[in-house]
Amino acid sequence: MEKSAGSSQGRRRLTRERVLTAAVGVADAGGIGALTIRSLAQELGAKPMSVYYHVANKDAILDGIVDVVFSEIELPSPGGDWRSELRRRAASARQVLRRHRWAIGLMESRTTPGPATLRHHDAVIATLRAAGFSLEMTAHAYALIDSYTYGFALQEAGLPFEGPDTVAPVADSIMEQFAAGDYPHLVEMATGYYFKTSYDFADEFDFGLNLILNGLSNSLHPGNDS
């Protein structure tokens, strides 16, 4: 009887929030392919049927963990400077996706988005609208910023190096595979810039984002590309 009471108490402590937090942890550790009801139950120290009480199926889990990821991204404020707000939001999204790389391909795939997801989208749209963008330009701006942010996060996640200290060793091993004189422009770029400047691919994010925001600003104020 005491064991049964203890088990019942354990089940009461199992909440949807705890289930989704554990699901994010499983995906972070092994990728989205590692996330199953069985692996989730094992992570929670519970039986699969206990998990089903809080999430109906795999789709419900995916909906939930995508919402968790959106909840971690800083929301822009419609009352602030729109460029600063959207730059902060994009930088936050990139950092969150570095923690949850499995989420990059799922962020916009769910057809039953949760409250954090909807709140996020609403805040971005509100910020663009408050800045004076038309509905059409708001759609263009949102698509452009997100495709850049998600695309950069995807490319960054797939690079064979991380940080400036690892660029040269990786590039050296690649160049060792072809003969001298082959691919002269690639060699020039590597030896004349990447190796000499402590190149960090991560710095490219701000450069590209500023170009996008400058272009969007110019669409609101033609002739002003500052």
- From CA 65, how far away is CA 82, in angstroms rounded? 28
pLDDT score, position 66: 97
- From CA 36, how far away is CA 201, in angstroms rounded? 34
pLDDT bin (cut points 50, 70, 90) of residue 223 is low
Of 9-13, 94-98, 191-195, which range is least confident?
Answer: 9-13
pLDDT bin (cut points 50, 70, 90) of residue 214 is very high
- From CA 6, how far away is CA 11, in angstroms rounded? 9
Identify the helix (H) or strand (E) that includes residue 125.
helix 115-130
Instruction: Give the DSSP letter of residue 190.
Output: I
**CB-based contact 190:171 (threshold 8 Å):** yes
- From CA 12, how far away is CA 206, in angstroms rounded? 46
pTM value?
A: 0.85
Task: State pLDDT tens for residues 139-152.
Answer: 999 999 999 999 99
* Residue 10 pLDDT > 50: no
Question: How much of the chain, in percent, has pLDDT values that exceed 70?
Answer: 93
Look at residues 19, 26, 101 and name the one whose alpha carbon lies nearest to residue 61. Answer: 19
C-beta neighbour count of 64 within 10 angstroms: 21
pLDDT score, position 168: 77
Task: State pLDDT tens for residues 56-87.
Answer: 999 999 999 999 999 999 999 998 999 999 99
Q: Interhelix angle for 115-130 vs 58-72, to 10°?
A: 40
Q: What angle do CA 162, 168, 174 make, to 5 degrees?
A: 100
- From CA 54, how far away is CA 50, in angstroms rounded? 7
Look at residues 61, 157, 58 and name the one whose alpha carbon lies nearest to residue 101. Answer: 157
